[in-house]
Structure 1
Amino acid sequence: MELKLLHHYTTITCKTLAIADDVSENIWRDTVPNLAFSGASFLADALLAVSALHLRSHTPHDQDLVRASHAYMAATLSEYGTSLSNGITETNAEALFLTASLIAFQSTASRIFTRDDSGDLKDRSDGYVLPLSWFHSFQGVKAVVASSWQWLRNSGIVIPIIEAQPALNLNLAEHENTFFGDLLVGLDEELAQSGEDESPGYLLTRQAYQHAVAVLNWAHKIPQTGAPLVFLATVSRRFIELLESRRPRALAILASYFALLKCLDSLWWLRGVARREVMGIVSLFDPDDEEWWPRLQWPLRIVLYEGDTIPSDVWGADWNDQHALLQQANRNGGFVTHIELLSKMFSAMQNTTSSALRDPLDVASHAEAVLQDRALQASANMMALSESLHVPQVD
């Protein structure tokens, strides 16, 4: 079984882990297995687990593959957790980053075997479960990056993978005139009515919504580059808390996010996800809700569209503009450049903030607040990546 899974990984699965990037595809195919079978057993187990899940997507009822996928991932999580507890070092940083990435893939792909979609808006129930594990696993990747950047920044393995991600180019200064601006309408009034405008967390809540919508607006313009996947790792811890509380605004934002994944439906680990998740989220709303039901119409229209290519007038943006928009964003530096800038700011704030902000997450949140107070584009871009330096607590 192990040889079968390894062969499948190196010949097929590895090609599905990189979106339109030959360099990172070669790394996943050649370099990662070499590193895995040179002593990083948790990485070896992770790639075998993902390979087994990929094969299972073709034969869902093959119990040998079901057991293999679960067993290899269980072994991965056990060894991975132990390695993190022992500390990230120069010698294990690359393997831990790659393992965290494969765990995120596994978490995402496992969802395709869940049948939450009733397919009927009239058949509403409380059975739908939000895929919060997606956020936790992708946030785990950024936690490893934040904790080991001093070594990863010089890695010939990790840097090409990070640079393959489209550079964030967010606009936090404008909200109402953006495509998803209606998701922020009434935010201040909502916070005032709930009394949150007088609470210490008011700013973080407001920023969590604004930042999430800014990422949606950015990814909406370049969806086929894999940009929508960045949302999972870059949203703040506060936004995830709002999702856990099932706040209507957070759920509506999440529905729009999953609709963006419709353009990546050809990937085996995202196949059917857009429709299933949007329909599930919509089932949590009352169709008579005059405030939120109209804001769910775009994600519904997208996931129910039957054609292979969604027209620009339905999508709301012209996909032919993606290349030009990417070039424009890359003029400000790639993903690595932005992480470098925020890493320096993050370190400085850890050294200068009060004892009340000694926790890494609180320091990063403070950095976020400082950056969001600036309306300039450069500040917006930096704030977006300060979220990439949040280190979630380990339960």
Structure 2
Amino acid sequence: MPIRSPYSPAHPGKANSNQWRLDDPEVDESWVTKINGAGNHSYLATKRSHDMLHVSRIYFDRAIDGHRKALEDLTVENIEAVYCTSVLVSFHALFVLSESEEDSTLPSLDPVQWLRLGKGTRFICSRWKELVGPSRINSSGVSYGLPSITNDSELFNSEHGKPFKGLLTWAEDFETIYSEDRKLYEQVINYIGVIYKCISEGNESELAICRRLVAMPSRNDPRFIDMVEAKQPRALAILAHLFACMKLIDYKVPWFRGIAERQIPKIHDELPVGWRPMLAWPMAITAGEVDREPAETQIDDILAL
């Protein structure tokens, strides 16, 4: 059965969608009448969008509060529900990164929140295995779906990270990278490289690539999140490239639309001036200056590696 719009004439209490009005004391009654009469809904649409966004964030905050309480007492009985909640709130935290931050009355949208929620999913899976054993958690469907995101040797193959090697070598003469941090950066770069390879070669569906993208926080070293939160330039530049990959497939995966446009320029502005050339490719992707069907040489050409 088709889903009926709550503002369609058939819906109780809304006799005519053209006569829709807000019960808001800030809205002048005569102005609403003029808008309805003229067939101009731009003001109401904007106001309604703001209100819906505000309400959605209130409910999201409530969901996070309840989720945190459940995390404090994980049991065999509740851990599957906690896992499902973790996945859902993680998806929500990612997809709302496309929303506007211009309204100061709304909470800020921070990719760190998405990254930390993804890390939480990884913790829940580990705890679930401890409680019920690997065989039972596998039978529950956690690992179902293609592509497989459990093969570390494939996910972090250094060959995949070659197009992004400049992210690892940029400014290395002026910045000391500890060996453990270098390995961490390499891991994330290789993971993004797998995603880029699948996009450029077209050997996976967009939904399969979506699975790889949303799993990024849970499949990489959690310390990367700390580096992003600390606004380490190399970590921010790497994250921008992940968002650029989302942009490459957002014409087929609508949940990603707007994320790159919102987040990449913000990262660009947060970077020291000397680091901004590292965002040339993500910025070009965002501006539509690079084809959606990327050639392997595009990154090298733009960064002149």
> Common fold, TM-score beyond 0.5?
yes
Of 84, 94, 100, which aligns to 2:71? 84
Counterpart of 2:256 in structure 1 is: 270
Counterpart of 1:69 in structure 2 is: 56
- Structure 1 residue runs of 5 or longer lacking an equivalent are 6-57, 117-127, 197-201, 318-395
Of 261, 277, 282, which aligns to 1:299? 282
The answer as to 2:125 corresponding to 1:148 is no
Deviations 1:53-109 (A, max 9, x none): xxxxx987246644652343343223322221122x222222111100011112122
The CA distance in 2 between the partners of 1:4 and 1:77, in whole Å, is 30
Counterpart of 1:222 in structure 2 is: 198
Counterpart of 2:232 in structure 1 is: 247
Q: Which amino acid aligns with 2:115?
A: F
Shift of 1:315: 5.4
The CA distance in 2 between the partners of 1:60 and 1:109, in whole Å, is 21
Distance 1:146 1:186, change over 3 A: same
Secondary structure at the aligned position of 2:144 is classed as helix
Rg comparison, structure with higher value: 2
Q: What percentage of residue pairs aligned between the two structures are identical?
A: 25
Q: How many residues align?
A: 238
Matched ranges for 1:1-395 at <5 A? 61-62=48-49, 65-66=52-53, 68-87=55-74, 89-115=75-101, 131-150=111-130, 151=132, 153-160=137-144, 165-166=148-149, 168=151, 169-173=154-158, 178-185=162-169, 189-190=173-174, 192=176, 202-223=178-199, 224=206, 225-226=209-210, 227-266=212-251, 267-285=253-271, 289=274, 292-305=275-288, 309-312=292-295
- Structure 2 residue runs of 5 or longer lacking an equivalent are 6-44, 103-107, 200-205, 301-305
Compare relative contact order (CA 8 Å, sep 6+) and give the higher one, 1 or 2. 1
The CA distance in 2 between the partners of 1:79 and 1:65, in whole Å, is 21
Deviations 1:280-320 (A, max 9, x none): 11122455x2xx33322211221211688434367569xxx
* TM-score, length-scaled by structure 1: 0.52
> How well do the aligned residues superpose, as a CA RMSD in angstroms?
3.5
The CA distance in 2 between the partners of 1:74 and 1:188, in whole Å, is 40
Shift of 1:186: 5.3
The CA distance in 2 between the partners of 1:131 and 1:111, in whole Å, is 7
Distance 1:159 1:71, change over 3 A: same
Distance 1:235 1:187, change over 3 A: farther
The CA distance in 1 between the partners of 2:88 and 2:47, in whole Å, is 20
Deviations 1:126-183 (A, max 9, x none): xx9752111111111111111112536244343325x5555551355569x8100111
The CA distance in 2 between the partners of 1:68 and 1:79, in whole Å, is 17
Distance 1:228 1:281, change over 3 A: same
* TM-score, length-scaled by structure 2: 0.65
Counterpart of 2:203 in structure 1 is: none
The CA distance in 1 between the partners of 2:227 and 2:281, in whole Å, is 22
Distance 1:255 1:74, change over 3 A: closer
> Which has the larger share of helix?
1
Shift of 1:218: 1.2
Contact 1:251-1:281 within 8 A present in 2 as well: yes
Contact 2:95-2:259 within 8 A present in 1 as well: no
Contact 2:164-2:299 within 8 A present in 1 as well: no
The CA distance in 2 between the partners of 1:179 and 1:308, in whole Å, is 16
